[in-house]
Amino acid sequence: MSTRAVALLSGGLDSILAVRTLQQQGIEVEALNFRTLFTCCQDQASQAARRLGITLTALHAEDEYLQRVRRPQFGYGRGANPCVDCRIYMFQRASEYMRQVGASLVVSGEVLGQRPNSQKRRDLRVIEWHSGLQGRLLRPLSAKLLPPTLPEQEGQVDREQLHAFSGRSRKGLIALAQRFGFAADEIPSPSTGCALTEKTFAPRVFDLLKMDKKNTPWDFELLKVGRHLRLTSATKAVIGRRADENQLLEYLAGRPDSRAAAVLQPANFAGPTVLLVGTVDDLALETAGALLLRFAKDPPPGPQVLLRRDGRQSLRPVDHHPAAETAETL
Ligand code: SF4
End of a domain among 165, 195, 225?
Answer: 195
- Domain span at residue 279? 200-329
Q: Is the pLDDT of residue 73 over 80?
A: yes
Strands 105-107 and 227-232: unpaired
Q: How many CB atoms lie within 10 A of CB 24?
A: 13
How far is ligand 1, taken at its centre, from the CA of residue 103, in Å?
Answer: 25
Alpha-carbon torsion 8, 9, 15, 18, what sign? positive
Q: What pLDDT digit, counting tens, does each position of 3-24 carry? A: 999 999 999 999 999 999 999 9
Is ligand 1 within 6 A of the CB of residue 192? yes
Q: Are residues 85 and 168 in the same domain?
A: yes
Q: What pLDDT digit, counting tens, does each position of 295-328 carry? A: 998 999 999 999 999 999 999 999 999 998 888 8
Closest CA to 34 of 87, 101, 100, 110: 87
Q: What pLDDT digit, counting tens, does each position of 143-185 carry? A: 999 999 999 999 999 999 999 999 999 999 999 999 999 999 8
Q: Are residues 63 and 190 in the same domain?
A: yes
Q: Are residues 181 and 206 in the same domain?
A: no
Q: How far is residue 234 from each of residues 230, 261, 281, 284, 322, measured CA to CA in Å?
A: 8, 12, 11, 10, 18
- Between CA 148 and CA 157 the distance in angstroms is 10
Domain count within the chain: 2
Q: Are residues 313 and 175 in the same domain?
A: no
Q: Are residues 169 and 125 in the same domain?
A: yes
Q: Residue 24 has what DSSP assignment?
A: T
End of a domain among 177, 195, 213?
Answer: 195
- Between CA 214 and CA 217 the distance in angstroms is 10
Q: State mean pLDDT over 108-133.
A: 94
Can you give the pTM of this predicted structure?
A: 0.91
% of the chain exceeding 70 in pLDDT: 99
End of a domain among 195, 221, 240?
Answer: 195
Q: Are residues 181 and 239 in the same domain?
A: no
Q: Is the pLDDT of residue 1 over 80?
A: no
The CATH number for 74's domain is 3.40.50.620
Closest approach atom of ligand 1 to CA 69: 7
Closest approach atom of ligand 1 to CA 196: 2
